[in-house]
Amino acid sequence: MEIDKQAVGNRIRQIRQELKLSMEKFGKLIGDLPRSTVNNWERGINLPKTETLHQIAEVGHVTNEYLLYGDQENQYILEMLQKKAGKLDPKIEGLIVDEMKQAGLVSEKEMDRMIEFFITNLILPTEQDQFTFQCIDEKKQLYLGSTNFGKEAQLYLQHDNQNHILHIMPFTFSNFSVDRLLVYLANQESYSYFGKHLPKKLVEKAILLYSINQSTGDVRIAPLVYSKETASYQYTEDNQYLLEQRYLYLPFVMEVEKERLLNAAYPSSK
């Protein structure tokens, strides 16, 4: 859903008029801004910056989403959620919408990250999320992990038989969150969705996950070790030794570094 600048301008004008302020006084109230800037907002020429939107919403006693999307704020959030997670239980959808509105997010990028957080941590896996695996290079011990009953490639796996480490990296066009995989691996109840069809020779004590941190844009390598106590994979400070170069799978390191450079050169428009 695109932002209608004219509609946003009308809502800003309504807030200003309800406060009985001129454009000059309204501009000073929210940031010592000139009349021309307020006029451009109200005419729909451009939108206020994120910080200024927060201030306008605050003085107008409305949510940021209402200021941007009007009465369609809930629908906008639901559309974003359903694009990523499909149709969910209405109770879960309602919870996520309420939490996002209370968070006071403005930019689509901020909202997208929060939706990812909820998908990762709140939405239970289903049979469609269960992984199956296929060897694509016997010599390199390289495997492809897929969900949706083998239809959607999500992960590359490389088996280091010498060091007994399973290396995991997202497939190029994967829509599966590595953070969600971390949740699968770290919980006994959900681990089976990853490991049920994992070939026994690939079940190792240690796992290294290679990805890009969506918040910072940096390369992230997460070392996990199997815990008998929790019957799942856990991260502790003791796992840091796995980040020594001799344990890393350099082709995966190079791939995620290339992705990092590509993201830096061509950042997302969100």
- pLDDT more than 70, % of the chain: 96
212 within 8 A of 220, measured Cβ to Cβ: yes
**171-182 tens-digit pLDDT:** 988 878 888 898
Q: What are the angstrom distances between the C-alpha of 175 and each of 116, 170, 217, 242?
A: 11, 9, 17, 27
pLDDT of 228 > 70? The answer is yes
Region 46-68: mean pLDDT is 87
Q: What is the mean pLDDT of residues 8-26?
A: 94
Give whole-number Cα distances, 2 to 97, 107, 108, in Å. 18, 12, 10
Sheet-wide strand order for 232-234 = 132-137, 142-147, 152-160, 165-170, 206-212, 219-227, 232-234
Residue 252: predicted pLDDT: 97
Mean pLDDT, rounded, for 253-270: 82
Statement: residue 270 has pLDDT above 50: no
Q: Exposed/middle/buried for 196, CB within 10 Å: 0-12, 13-18, 19+?
A: exposed
Q: What's the mean pLDDT in 233-237? A: 90
pLDDT at 229 over 80: yes
One-letter amino acid identity for 115?
I
Contact 23, 34 (CB under 8 A): no
Structure confidence at residue 104 (pLDDT): 65
pTM of the model: 0.65
Cα dihedral sign, 116-119-125-127: negative
pLDDT at 23: 96
Q: What is the mean pLDDT of the chain?
A: 88
Of 36-40, 44-48, 104-108, 189-193, the one with minimum mean pLDDT is 104-108
- The predicted-structure confidence for 139-179, as pLDDT tens digits, reads as follows 999 999 999 999 999 999 999 999 999 999 999 888 788 88
β-strand partners of 268: none
Q: What is the pLDDT of residues 74-131, one digit of tens each?
A: 777 777 788 877 777 777 777 887 887 777 665 667 778 888 888 887 788 889 899 9
Whether CATH 3.40.50.300 fits 5-69: no
**Digit-coded pLDDT (tens) for 211-223:** 998 778 889 999 9
